[in-house]
Amino acid sequence: MRLRLCLTSTECASGGWLAKLEAAARRRLAQAPAEGTAQVTRSALRKLRQFAVGPAAGRKLFRRPRVHGELRACCHNEWSLLLFAEWLLAHKSKKTGKPVSVNTVVTYVSLIKSELSVQYGFAITGDCERRLSRALKSMRKTAPAPTRRKRRGLRRKHLRKAWRASSYKSDRSVDAVNEWGAVATAWEALARGGELCPSKAFDARAPATPTRADLTFQSDKYGRSATLWLRPLKKRGQARADKVPIIFAEHDGAGSDTYAALARLAQCDPVPAEAAATTPLFRRANGKAMRLEHFRTIVKRVAALAGEDPGPFGAHSPRVGGATDIGDGSPLLLQAKGRWGSDIGKIYARMTRRGLLRSSRAMQRRGARDMEELHPGFVQPA
């Protein structure tokens, strides 16, 4: 049986199946960048558009070679990418007020080069990449070493002091119970701000942040407790992590009692069972999800209520403070509860219900002074 390698005259006359397939393939390639880089590619192309209508408005960025590998066109395209990289280093973001990092510049240039090569149907720089490679290498060498932001830890003592000194204790409004629930949960769950509150609009179809359906309450021989299924944040390009159960034991009802804060949230801001899966865990009085920038403001407010300078406090502060309060416990439990992935031992470590409840109660008893308390002028990066 011979394999038919060409279209029949009927197929050609019906509109050309090959042309349709080619068009479909081009649309798919245009809509689906390399796996795991779609969001970064969109950001890179958005920056390229800003560059094209800004400082490069009088320049044709990319030329099509008249013949394969034409040196003049490839060098012109390479120079455009080099100018784009220099602009990225000098251009300050309206959102952050800072230019992007060198690693981001290199990533953007690489993604744009590969994406446009696919869209245009030819390698936009061909073999002419020596100047671009040397420039990017030089950028990496001369870039200042990255430093982590200095963040004070929001600890149990801060929560309890702020609770006594504020109206949160008696305020049963939607905003109040959500705000205190978010801060207390972040502290005891060692949660990053982004794990509890979205930085962008909440998407009920595929939420990256927890919903009310992720929160349950139980009572058994161990006492009353709450369980929150929390999805750890992953780096860009990696698969989304599975949710992890965090258990909060009931304590004394004061400011650091996360169980009490969540129970108060469920009582004062109830959600119908049918809407739980589409309602963010923490929300504002207007029904919208509590955003990361609002959570950061709440953390600073709680720090100020506790008598601290709110400047060094941020969205990571409850995670830092919770890790400090449990820090002299089991290293494996600390790593597992904090969802850190830096040790191969996590493959063998398994969290138990008894261990989680023990760690929850232990965090309520910690009172050791940290180095930042002993030396007020010292703040560790976090």
Which range among 54-58, 227-231, 296-300, 343-347 has the greatest average pLDDT?
296-300
Task: Identify which has the larger pLDDT, 163 or 339.
Answer: 163
On whether the CB atoms of residues 289 and 283 are closer than 8 A, the answer is yes
pTM reported for the whole predicted model: 0.65
In the structure, what pLDDT confidence band is assigned to residue 335 with cuts at 50, 70 and 90? low
Q: Judge whether residue 10 has pLDDT over 60.
A: no
- pLDDT, mean of residues 328-353: 59
Examine the pLDDT at 17 and tell me if it is beyond 90: no
Do both 237 and 299 map to the same domain?
A: yes
Q: 245 pairs with which residues across the strands?
A: 229
pLDDT tens profile 308-317: 999 999 998 9
Q: What is the DSSP string of 18-40?
A: HHHHHHHHHHHHHH--STT-HHH
Residue 10 falls within a domain, yes or no? Answer: no
Asked if pLDDT for residue 140 goes beyond 60, the answer is yes
Residue 345 has pLDDT above 70, yes or no: no
Specify the pLDDT at position 324: 81
Residue 166, pLDDT > 70, answer: yes
**Domain identity same for 131 and 216:** no
Choose between 89 and 306: higher pLDDT.
Answer: 306
Tokens of 309: 């300078």
Q: Are residues 112 and 167 in the same domain?
A: no
Same domain, 238 and 261: yes
Instruction: State which H helix or E strand residue 293 sits in.
Output: helix 292-305
Q: Band the pLDDT of 339: cuts 50, 70, 90.
A: low
> Would you say residue 9 has pLDDT above 60?
no
What rounded mean pLDDT belongs to the chain?
82
Percent of the chain residues past pLDDT 90, beyond the cut:
32
Assigned domain for 200 exists? yes
Residue 374 falls within a domain, yes or no?
A: no
β-pair partners for 220: 223
Pairwise CA distance, residues 277 & 281, whole Å: 9
Q: Is the pLDDT of residue 301 over 70?
A: yes
Q: What is the pLDDT of residues 357-378, one digit of tens each?
A: 888 888 887 667 777 777 777 7
Say if 6 falls within a structural domain: no
Pair type for strands 223-230 and 244-249: antiparallel
Q: Is residue 132 part of a domain?
A: yes
- Kindly state whether residues 225 and 310 are assigned to the same domain: yes
Q: Is residue 2 part of a domain?
A: no
Q: Which of 97, 114, 142 is the last residue of a domain?
A: 142
Residues 163 and 107 reside in one and the same domain: no
Look at 24-28, 119-123, 199-203, 206-210 and tell me which has the smallest mean pLDDT: 24-28
Q: What is the pLDDT of residues 214-228, one digit of tens each?
A: 999 999 888 999 999
Picking from 182-186, 247-251, 289-293, 345-349, which range would have the lowest pLDDT averaged per residue? 345-349
The whole-number average pLDDT for the span 143-163 is 83
DSSP 154-166: --HHHHHHHHHHS
Range of the domain at 94: 17-142
Q: Where residue 8 falls among pLDDT bands split at 50, 70, 90?
A: very low
